[in-house]
Structure 1
Amino acid sequence: MLEHGGNLRDAAKRFGRDDWLDLSTGINPRWYPAPQVADNAWHRLPEPDPALAAAAEAFYNAPKMLPVAGTQAAIQALPRLRMPSRVAVSAPSYAEHAHHWASHGHTMTLTPYTELGAAVAHNDVVVVVNPNNPTGETVPATQLLQWADQLAARGGWLVVDEAFGDTAQDNSVAAHSGRPGLIVLRSVGKFFGLAGIRLGFVAAHADLLRELADQLGPWTISGPAQQIATAALTDQTWQTNTRAELHASGERLHTLLAAHGIDATGTPLFQWWPESQPEAFWQHMAERGIWVRLFTHAARGIRLGLPPDEAGWQRLQAALTEWTHK
């Protein structure tokens, strides 16, 4: 199993403390306030609620969406829906994409963002994380749609993972996902801070969504998750306020890092930089009870999410000051 952020039990076991400031995930630390769910949500088998799909289609501006148990479920299932293919996965990016395409008989290559255009001509499937996790790099929507058309013309797919796209909806290609060959993944875990309910959506042509639904089987989304997500996706006031708060917090984090000589890139939810001593920085922060995301392979560096409160900001600033004066 690949390593991910949010593994605080491992942190506690390794460093022997429980007062963690968790900046390892890039998940909104001020999550959507989940409403009370109806009693029968705990009792009935969770048949799909059309209201959830409708709320998602309106929020993401997509013609048709399939709810899935987190985008992870789709990432694992999509490679099973194709015969062995040539697949280019954007790199560095969320490692689960490459892992599952390589594990299901496909010829997978990791492709830098600067080489994705060339990869479209030589592959059957191209996977792009946009905005990228962990670097925040983006590809313009117009470019993605051109690539989607090129791939679809020969039966290929463009898979666009927009899990961190809720703070920049203007660059989404979900509105165009009714065309064959374009598959868009969205998540309620990041912007809404609801990673615990394990819910995401796939936007694609209706035929592909039927195949994917058959692959995933029945009752994939719990009843409580459906009710909570429907409320979150339709709460426009909370969404508007949260976007403004996240953009301000993201800028604050970028400015804080710059003040300590760190040239970072990212999104309103996280910042990343190619740290020359990533293991030492990770150790320094962990010894102060701050859990950050360490990358030691293709994206050798550090990713930081947002502190949840002013005490967290001050704690991070103190640790960064100690790091830069070592």
Structure 2
Amino acid sequence: MSDRWTWHGGGLEAAKRHFGASKDGGDWIDLSTGINPHPWPGAGAAEIDWRRLPDPETLARLETVAAACFGVDARHVCAVPGSEIGLRLVGQMIGGTAHHVAPAYRTHGEMIAGSAPIDADAAGQHGGTLILANPNNPDGRVIGSRAMQALLDGRGADGWLLVDEAFADADPRASIAASVGDDIRLIVFRSFGKFFGLAGVRLGFVVAPHAIVAKLRERVGAWPVSAAAIAIGTAAYADRDWTTAARRRLHTEVAALDAVLVRQGHRPIGDCPLFRLIEVADGQALFERLARHSILTRPFAGQPQWLRIGLPADADARARLETALADG
């Protein structure tokens, strides 16, 4: 199998070409990502002036509204065109000796040259700069607020705690973003697309001490994100009623996914409501069996016993998943 599907989620068109038509005639279901299958519904109605460059006032408004959701002052927030770019730019700025918790996002190991991988259980045993995700991908592990504070306290004078909170909007109780301050060596990265189900908007945020934010603004330039990202992001973050309902819905639906997995003999792993991980004898074989039912999931080259399954959009998708899991 090509690493086309082990590199990251997505690749639906490639899967269609490779695996062909479904054995049961259904449309493809993409469960390979951790993106909310119920996107924020207002994107199509957003008013976007495509004739003008985004102005500073609208960008500042976006950052202010997002900052309120993160529980921080807007002076600590910088919008970027996707959290991955924010991770890479900040990594270049920080440099030095670093460790990254693995397995996690491949980007974490590439942010700072020479960063060494460590197990999650060993994260508190290393000083210096530490990079991790909370919730983590792909295992959905969530580190509680007290444990996160202990990791922050253990950085020392020369280290930073760099926390990728791409999935934190689904359940913000473990977020450490509110601890960001000018005299604290903490930087948090947030993603818009996953929780709001609009990954194509390409919008993320770096939450950091003001001195880091100022340097980052120099690097991203005057127009870091598009007019569309500003308009959609501002309206979505301001929609608190939708956010509350979406969190409730995600937890209800991931419980239904857990029930499907348990009925089929699997133990769902993880606390992030946007996906679950399972361990099987041969993850690639199960990936290919599900693909023959036109269900795309996420295998992992380095952990061949793992398969990550995103949240199905509805009861019909869950039923198709259960049928495919049982066929073997």
TM-score (norm 2): 0.91
Determine the structure 2 residue equivalent to 1:37. Answer: 46
In 2, are the aligned partners of 1:11 and 1:291 still within 8 Å (CA)?
yes
Q: Secondary structure at the match of 1:185?
A: strand
Q: Is the 8 A contact 1:278 1:296 kept in 2?
A: no
Is the counterpart of residue 94 in structure 1 residue 105 in structure 2? Answer: yes
Deviation at 1:298, TM superposition (A): 4.5
Matched ranges for 1:196-215 at <5 A: 196-215=200-219
Q: How much has 1:114 moved relative to structure 2?
A: 0.5
Q: CA deviation at 1:248?
A: 0.4
5 Å-filtered alignment, 1:268-287, equals 268-287=273-292
1:176-216 CA-partner distances (Å, limit 9, x unpaired): 11143100111111111011100011111000111122222
Q: How do 1:95-114 and structure 2 match up within 5 A? A: 95-101=106-112, 106-114=113-121
What does 1:262-301 correspond to in 2, within 5 Å? 262-266=266-270, 267-298=272-303, 300-301=305-306
2:310 match: 305
Partner SS state of residue 224, structure 2 = coil
Q: What corresponds to 1:175 in structure 2? A: 178
Structure 2 unpaired stretches of 5+: none
Match of 2:164 in 1: 161
What pairs up with 1:4-83 in 2 under 5 angstroms? 4-17=8-21, 19-33=27-41, 34-40=43-49, 42-48=50-56, 49-63=59-73, 64-83=76-95
Q: Which residue of 2 aligns with 1:137?
A: 141
Q: How does 1:212-291 map to 2 (within 5 A)?
A: 212-266=216-270, 267-291=272-296
Secondary structure at 1:190 match in 2? helix
CA distance in 1, matches of 2:186, 2:196: 25
Contact 1:292 1:304 in 2 (8 A): yes
- Provide the rounded CA distance (Å) in 2 between the counterparts of 1:75 and 1:298: 24
The DSSP-based 3-state class of the residue aligned with 1:67 is: strand
SS of residue in 1 equivalent to 2:308: strand
C-alpha distance in 1, partners of 2:94/2:187?
13
Paired residues in the alignment total 313
For residues 282-315 of structure 1, the C-alpha deviation after alignment (integer angstroms, 9 at most, x for no partner) is: 0101111000001120574100011112221111
Change (3 A) 1:39 1:5: closer
Structure 1 residues 76-125: Cα deviation after superposition (integer angstroms, max 9, x where no partner): 21221034x22111111111111332xxxx32111111000102x3xx21
Question: Does 2:190 correspond to 1:186?
Answer: yes
Q: Which moved more, 1:305-314 or 1:20-29?
A: 305-314
Point out 4+ residue stretches in structure 1 off by more than 4 angstroms.
none
- Partners in 2 of 1:141 and 1:169 — Cα distance? 10
Where do 5+ consecutive residues of structure 1 fail to align? none
Q: CA RMSD in A?
A: 1.7
Q: Quote the Cα distance in structure 2 between the aligned partners of 1:223 and 1:138.
A: 34
1:224 CA drift (Å): 1.1
Q: What amino acid sits opposite 2:125 in the alignment?
A: A
Q: Counterparts in 2 of 1:143-154, with a 5 A limit?
A: 143-151=147-155, 153-154=156-157
Q: TM-score, normalised by structure 1?
A: 0.91
CA–CA distance in 1 between the matches of 2:158 and 2:125?
A: 17
Q: How many percent identity over aligned positions?
A: 35
> For 1:218, what is the secondary structure of its paired residue?
coil
Contact 2:191 2:204 in 1 (8 A): yes
Going from structure 1 to structure 2, the CA distance change for 1:299 and 1:47 (only over 3 Å counts) comes to farther
